[in-house]
Structure 1
Amino acid sequence: MKTILLFGAGKSATVLIDYLLEETKTNKWKFIIADANKEQIVSKTNHSPFAEAIEMDITDDDKREAVIQRAHVVISMMPPALHYLIAKDCVELRKHLLTASYIDNKIKSLSDEIRHRKLLFLCEMGLDPGIDHMSAMKLIDGIKNEGGAITSFKSHCGGLVAPESDDNPWHYKISWNPRNVVLAGKSGANYKEHNATLHKSYEGLFTHCEEVVVDGLPPLVYYPNRDSLSYIPIYKLQSVQTFIRTTLRHPVFCIGWDAIVQADLTNDMDVINTSGLTFSAWSAAILPFVNDSNKTLLAYLGLFEDEPVPTTAKTSADILQYLLELKLPMKSEDKDMVVMLHEIIYELKGKLYDVKSSLVVEGEDGIRTAMAKTVGLPLGITAKLLLNGDIKLTGLHIPIIKEIYDPVLHELSNMGICFTEKRS
């Protein structure tokens, strides 16, 4: 019996589990879910006879290897640092592996063995990275096939709150890993603009964010992501003058977050003494950066309250994460929203063309979120295509290949996750 194994049953896995339960029922496959919390698995599978829940410690080598041995395709929704444990076993036991995380050097070190054993290891197969790669490459390949030469490429994506659930001054709620929200942008950003290679430091990342417009939404702003430059050869756009990948936020978010960064309140390295420490004392370094444009935001987070910080906190990042989860939670009835926009300028027969391709997805509630849909469904669809023999690709890849992006984007579109394109 063909078997899919999923490691991790957290927030982002909910819609993926729903999808795979339906597919395993239809195709008479087996679906195994392994997580440290068995109750969490059962709550999401509702005792389905097509799913097997296994409680396990991912670092237990024997148990991990035993369950991987039973699978044909393995999906890892674990934290990125744990993918390598699974990847090593998948290579040794000859199992395909799918993840939504960036390819790191440890996974790259397995590349020769993956290819030699005719396995498919597909990484960056979620939302961003994932749907962004697929939709961008479909546009890029289409323009090149017409004979067009791309001069500018901008790709924006953000996990936001849906308008009907937007009820706080930050216009933001936590719809994914709160630690990642705290630490977003720490390494700064590298990108290309008007043929110049640029670097933006963490301290300058949220200052003067540029505006962008998506139809039907109020103006948003963006800040550049990590290392955009490494994707220029991957997208085969070496001659492009501008290339940037970014994160979308509402303008006020960047105004407030800029002050937090300047005050070093996202610091996750320096251990602090929390004994007798209040939020106002902890955040005192932000006072020089408080002004009329951000004071309401900062006060809303509770930075100036004389209440004690949590005793379990070890760093400023811990304290800030506590406040974000307390003040900006996604309630059970709330809906989140994913927004993606590609902006491409290309030249064809001496004329410049402008393409804007946008995606807006709303969640159903605080559990079946837009983030869970867009991160999980590409993985589930790919697992199905693999088991059905519709994808025969082998090696270590990200989803920039037509054999992957065409069928996955087609099924996503049938499920309402589709792009609106405008050319001028």
Structure 2
Amino acid sequence: MHIVVFGAGKSATVLIAYLGRICNEKNWIGTIADKDLQSLEQKIAGFPSLKANALNIENETERQGLIKTADIVISLLPPGLHFWVAQDCVALRKNLLTASYLDAQIKSLEPAIKEAGLLFIGEMGLDPGIDHMSAMQIIEEIKEKGGSIHSFKSHCGGLIAPESDNNPWHYKISWNPRNIVTAGKAGAVYKADGNNVEIPYELIFVDCEQLEIPEVGSLAYYPNRDSLSYIPLYQLEKANTFIRTTLRYASFCTGWEKMVTARLTSDEEIINTDELSYAEFFNSHLNKHQVSLDTAELQEQFDFLGLNNPAMINKGQIACSQLLQEILEEKWKLTQGDKDLIVMLHEFEYTLHQQRFALSSSLVVKGDDERKTAMAKTVGLPLGIAAVLILENKIQLKGLHIPIVKEIYEPVLAELAKEGIAFKETKKELA
């Protein structure tokens, strides 16, 4: 068997190690394709069954030539590039797995995927991915017992572990930094107490609510994009509350709300950074949009990023968001020995045999170091496990799916538990 992986970035390290172990055991072959050959060769070192391929993803001949040799394809490329791989997989009759949200382009291939008798699974990472699988397992169990679910809240966040938390934002980057800068830009819609609630981008990070997570403590959360679209997928149309959120430490939300108000995350505003200092960049935006750093903590957060840094930027014309991303990639990078933290919590309220219950299911995963991160574990392992199950004919579905189907989530969650990724449940009766 030959497994082909496109993309070897931050989220791929544990997937590569997992596939290296599996391929060694089963005498399979894995090819990891990425433009950064030097970094790639370091990641596959020690796994003789894995090969590095310095692929230019835009080169159709190279891309199709590699896909043609595969028994299954995994794409960890930036979301906008999946469609090239997906089209080739349809044409060349290859199954495909990705961790990204299914977008309109990928969904447009659904008839062709079905006609070709292929299996494409999207949203097969952490969030989306493990969140779908773990939630659906509980939803199905409650329904099979005759229960009725009234409220569903799903929270997930990539955080920094307490022992590596040494900056005033209480955050470091363990995944795609572009996604951090664009967080919340689409606004959010969700259902609360029977009503649909819509929150614009400007208010996403204002007065974030907080909750307690076992083993972690108090965290804040903000709503994710479009929660409503998942109601029919989870078959929870009768639930009065349905929301999916992102977890952060509370001070992060307070600081990021200032970022948004000051338009430091803007893609549209292009600035000339020649002869412009970092201090001028931050202060000009704060002053222009009348944003005051009215606490010592906010002052410390922005000072950490360059509020008082006189160094010149000198990067020519650049979007505010791109400059901010470059600053964050440097200031929030994981350093040697740093450990990150993945936290997920599902909260259910339901009725069973005329009694109301509250059920919480939590997952806390800590990274090993700055390379084998908790983020890489929880994004990469579901993809690797699903690939193996498909190649061994233990998942025999066809068509375009996300992992809300029992045939996918049951065996994958069982294998994840063997890898140390398992949920803890608590249940109590409500008055």
TM score, norm. by length of structure 2:
0.96
**Displaced runs of 4 or more, over 4 A:** none
1:74-102 deviation line (CA, Å, top 9, x unaligned): 00000011101000110011100000000
In 2 relative to 1, CA 304–423 (structure 1 residues): closer, same or farther, beyond 3 Å?
A: same
Q: Distance in 1 between matches of 2:173 and 2:28?
A: 35
**Pair 1:381-2:353 in alignment:** no
**Pair 1:286-2:286 in alignment:** yes
**Pair 1:3-2:2 in alignment:** yes
1:77-156 alignment, distance < 5 Å: 77-156=76-155
1:271-350 alignment, distance < 5 Å: 271-283=270-282, 284-287=284-287, 288-292=291-295, 293-311=297-315, 314-350=318-354
1:21-420 alignment, distance < 5 Å: 21-46=20-45, 48-283=47-282, 284-287=284-287, 288-292=291-295, 293-311=297-315, 314-420=318-424
Identity percentage of aligned residues? 50
CA contact (8 A) 2:37 2:54 kept: yes
CA contact (8 A) 1:309 1:319 kept: no
CA contact (8 A) 2:24 2:47 kept: no
Q: Distance in 2 between matches of 1:245 and 1:213?
A: 16
CA contact (8 A) 2:13 2:372 kept: yes
1:217-249 deviation line (CA, Å, top 9, x unaligned): 120010000100100001001111010000000
5+ long unaligned stretches in structure 2: none
Q: CA deviation at 1:298?
A: 1.5
Q: Distance in 1 between matches of 2:280 and 2:90?
A: 51
Q: Distance in 1 between matches of 2:28 and 2:314?
A: 46
Q: Distance in 1 between matches of 2:365 and 2:46?
A: 29
1:370-391 deviation line (CA, Å, top 9, x unaligned): 0000000000000000111100
What code does the residue aligned with 1:366 have? E
1:12-56 deviation line (CA, Å, top 9, x unaligned): 111000000111111111111111122222111116331121111
CA contact (8 A) 2:272 2:316 kept: no
CA contact (8 A) 2:270 2:317 kept: no
What code does the residue aligned with 1:333 have? G
Specify the SS of the correspondent of 2:156.
Answer: strand
Q: Distance in 2 between matches of 1:67 and 1:168?
A: 43
How many aligned residue pairs are there?
423
Q: CA deviation at 1:310?
A: 4.6
In 2 relative to 1, CA 313–125 (structure 1 residues): closer, same or farther, beyond 3 Å?
A: farther
Q: CA deviation at 1:312?
A: 5.3
Q: CA deviation at 1:313?
A: 6.0
CA contact (8 A) 1:154 1:342 kept: yes
5+ long unaligned stretches in structure 1: none
